[in-house]
Structure 1
Amino acid sequence: MLGPKIREIREQLGLSQKQLAGEDMTRSYISLIEKGRAVPSQRMLKIIAKRLNTPMEYFLGESTATDTDIGEAVLDKAKLYYKERNDRACIRMAHNVLTLTKDVLDQTEAYLLIMRSYNRLGEYRQALDNGEAAAFIVTRTGDRERIVQYYLEMGRAAFHSELFHAARKFYEQAYTYSSRLKYLQDEHIRALIYLGTTHLRLGNVDQGLEFYLKAEKEARMAGQPELYGEITLGLGKAYYMSEQDGHMQLSYDWTKKSVDSYKLARSESYVLALHNLAVIQLHMGQKKEALPLLGECAGIYDERNLPHKKASILEEISKIYLEERELQQAETVIKEALQLLELRDEGVLRAKLYRLLGLVFHEKDNSDEGYYFLRMSHDLLKRIHAEREADISHQILQLSKQKQKMEYDDYKSYIR
């Protein structure tokens, strides 16, 4: 049997299970192989054989499974489809791999392709379902790189499904498995970024800021302007959400760094930093500077068919109308934004638009309709565990009960 052969040679060479595992596998995975409870993939067996200075043929004996060769050929085809962005064909081909081979590494690669394709298609629940089916197989590989990639994809699918607590747990796993491994440094930094973003969505601003600062420290000397742009964009958001003195200026400074980094990288994400910079300028009273930037961002979102991002621009415009007491224009813009979310929904943004609509109705002396939309905002935010935003909606709800008619000065501090 394979396991006893590996153990015998390992012990003859005086190697521990941890030494044999190295950075490619875990000690517990080697233990499972030696006990016959796990079967290494061809790739892992090659690594083991090399470290034991023993030909692979000694471990394989006379039998070599032809299904491995067939499975690898189909897997190569699936990878080609993914590279060509033909996600439907990639998913079909990758599912074929699962039926053609029992090689756990090939099966893991197939599942990762399926998850990535569904995530790229925006079908996040399908990505989660397939990821859950893959969990046992992926962890059996003992391959940390694949395990980290798996948890990052699961985190992405959960985050975009607005399952923020689940996303946080997946990103924590990716962070743990990638720790202290130089060849997984990029994945480790990304896990930190995504943990920061998830904590912001959960309303844990201080924790989010902490993760972003760790990521910035690790990425500072990496020489990757796009990655650095993503981190500094997150830092700008975190400082914007913080209520401490001086943090608004820090928000502006970090976001400006993000704009510059994305511009240097010629990244499409440049528009996201520009959008955030405009929002910060509005809050700092720099309306003249902010409005042209918002217009530029809206045009780019239209070109790229990103209705939820265009809706976010309209959210900011509606706040300006509210401030200027142009209530009918504010209502019109909010309803236009909600129509855009019918094309691509985003729960937090929808709830914030409900909140703004509730405020408009209150100022128009329609307190019943106003309360209805404020309640819808609060309930939706609670349902998706966006606690910080839910608390804001709750505070405004309480305020609406105390006054028959709310005015801008009553709630302006809540809706920045």
Structure 2
Amino acid sequence: MSDDQTNNKLGQFVGAKIRAERLAQKLTQSQLALPEFSVSYISAIERGQIHPSLRALEILAQRLGLPSAELIPSHTQSNSTTGITMNSAKNDDAAFELEILVAHTHILQGAAAKAITQLEELATNKLRGSYLIRYHYLLGWAYLLTAQWQACMDALAKAEIIAKECNDDSNSLLIRNLMGMAYAATGDYMQALKTHQYCLALVEKRQPQDPFFLCHLYNQLGQHLAHLNDHDSTLDAFQQALAIIEELNKHEHLQAVYIDIALQYSAASEYEQASISFYKCIELQNQRKPLPLQSEIYRYLGQALMMSDQEKARTYLEGVLQHHSNELDALTQASILTNLAEWFLLNNHLEEAEQYVEKA
């Protein structure tokens, strides 16, 4: 079967699945389409004339109340529904892309075990280049989330070797980041610290700089340093992360940050990273949510302060609530209130601790 025939069959499967779910829920094409899409776009998808993007699939799946992975055919579904043989699908780049996207979606939805199953079914001897890097990277990520430490490191080591051979600096950085998280998960905080310090040095030298990833690195460094009892450096790392978040929150439109990152990646011919940044920009156009990392960093910062100087911890946390409460989202306020409750509990002020718990 030719590539065009394979792609047409896959498109027909996705379209038929969307149409069946829409009809089952008694939705019109207009109800499914608006406001993001046109009715003609939905109609073309259902007829298999066009292939929706991953972002479009996510929106449609959410509207239909389904995991987005269900709208992408597995090998079994493809065989039974469209007559595509497994070997012909695996020989096609579009099929590889679909399988890897499904696995990535499973990971993001908290179903790492499903991602492992999805990836292990792929014929790795037929994968090449960026597909092989992403395969080992996602497999390592899924192993990390399922506490399979050695398998995680083995997969990431393979991904790193291929990334170096391909001079793929962007993926090398992401791989090293996961390695650092794996070291931390196994209690090797010194190696985790060295790995994330290496990542930080790379990020600070390259363009474009992703402020979100930079914030993540400072957060990771703060946690490693806390475990190593380097309290001053811990506080500095968390303060660096919070400074980045506060700067991001000053942007009238946060998606402008992603647009800038995407354009810089595109200029550097790193089109995959550019596409990811553009997708994130589109998502931010539809919703504005507080950065969840902010509450996590405040929680770790409060704990670090209490280990180094308890009185300073209370003064700092109460000061944040007093002077910045209007700028903090509910989750961040809850993190700070929880830290204060812990402070009062440790100092045997049970009544005050209970009050802060109730506020949190």
Write the distance in 1 (CA, Å) between the matches of 2:225 and 2:69.
38
Residue 288 of structure 1: how far off its partner (Å)? 2.7
* 1:196 equivalent in structure 2: 140
Contact 1:330–1:360 (Cα < 8 Å) also in 2: no
* Runs of 5+ consecutive residues of structure 2 not aligned to the other structure: 16-33, 249-253, 255-288
Residue 340 (structure 1) aligned with residue 331 (structure 2): yes
Q: 293, 299, 302: which is aligned to 1:309?
A: 293
User: What corresponds to 2:29 in structure 1?
Assistant: none
Asked if residue 148 in structure 1 is aligned to residue 93 in structure 2, the reply is: no
SS at match of 2:72: helix
Percent of aligned positions that are identical: 10
Indicate conservation of the 8 Å contact 2:192/2:224, yes or no.
yes
Contact 2:302 2:336 in 1 (8 A): no
Which residue identity lines up with residue 103 of structure 2 in the other structure? G
1:254 and 2:237 equivalent?
no
Partner Cα distance (1:168, 1:253) in 2: 28
Residue identity matched to 1:363: L
* Residue 115 of structure 1: aligned partner: 57
Deviation at 1:117, TM superposition (A): 5.8
Output the CA distance in 2 between the equivalents of 1:169 and 1:338: 38
Q: Cα–Cα, structure 1 residues 317 and 115, in superposed 2: closer, same or farther, change >3 Å? A: same
Deviation, 1:255, is: 1.4
Match of 1:211 in 2: 155
Contact 2:290 2:329 in 1 (8 A): no
Taking the aligned partners of 2:221 and 2:105, their CA distance within structure 1 comes to: 27
- 1:363 is matched with which residue: 341, 346, 350? 346
CA apart distance, 1:265: 4.4
Matched, 1:127 2:68: yes
The TM-score normalised by the length of structure 2 is 0.58
Q: What residue is the counterpart of 1:77 in the other structure?
A: none
Aligned-partner residue type, residue 125 of structure 2: R
1:181 corresponds in structure 2 to 126
Q: How far apart in 1 are the matches of 2:235 and 2:190? A: 19
Query: Displacement of 1:42 after TM fit?
Result: 3.5
CA contact (8 A) 1:226 1:267 kept: no
Q: 1:298, 1:275 → 2: CA distance?
A: 9
The superposition leaves residues 256-277 of structure 1 with CA deviations (integer Å, 9 ceiling, x where unpaired) of: 2222333324241333223322
Kindly report the root-mean-square deviation, in angstroms, between the aligned alpha carbons of the 2 structures.
Answer: 4.6
Structure 1 unmatched runs, 5+: 1-29, 31-39, 47-67, 72-86, 343-349, 374-416
**Is 2:149 the counterpart of 1:158?**
no
TM-score (norm 1): 0.52
Q: How many residues align?
A: 272
Question: Can you list the C-alpha shifts for 1:145-172, whole angstroms capped at 9, x where unaligned?
Answer: 2222223322333223223322332343
Partner secondary structure for residue 294 of structure 1: helix
Indicate if the aligned counterparts of 1:315 and 1:353 stay in contact, CA closer than 8 A: yes
Q: Residue 133 of structure 2 contacts residue 162 of structure 2 at CA under 8 Å; is this kept in 1?
A: yes
Match of 1:100 among 43, 47, 58: 47
Which residue of structure 2 aligns with residue 172 of structure 1?
120
- 1: CA distance, partners of 2:64 / 2:244: 24
> Equivalent of 1:320, from 304, 322, 327?
304
Listed as ranges, the matches of 1:210-229 within 5 Å are 210-229=154-173
Counterpart of 2:164, as a letter, is R
Partner of residue 266, structure 1:
208
Q: Offset of 1:41 from its aligned partner?
A: 6.3
Structure 1 partner of 2:227: 283
SS in 2 for 1:89: coil
Structure 1 residues 357 and 239 mapped into 2: Cα distance closer, same or farther (>3 Å)?
A: farther
Offset from partner CA, 1:11-50 (integer Å, 9 cap, x none):
xxxxxxxxxxxxxxxxxxx5xxxxxxxxx6645599xxxx
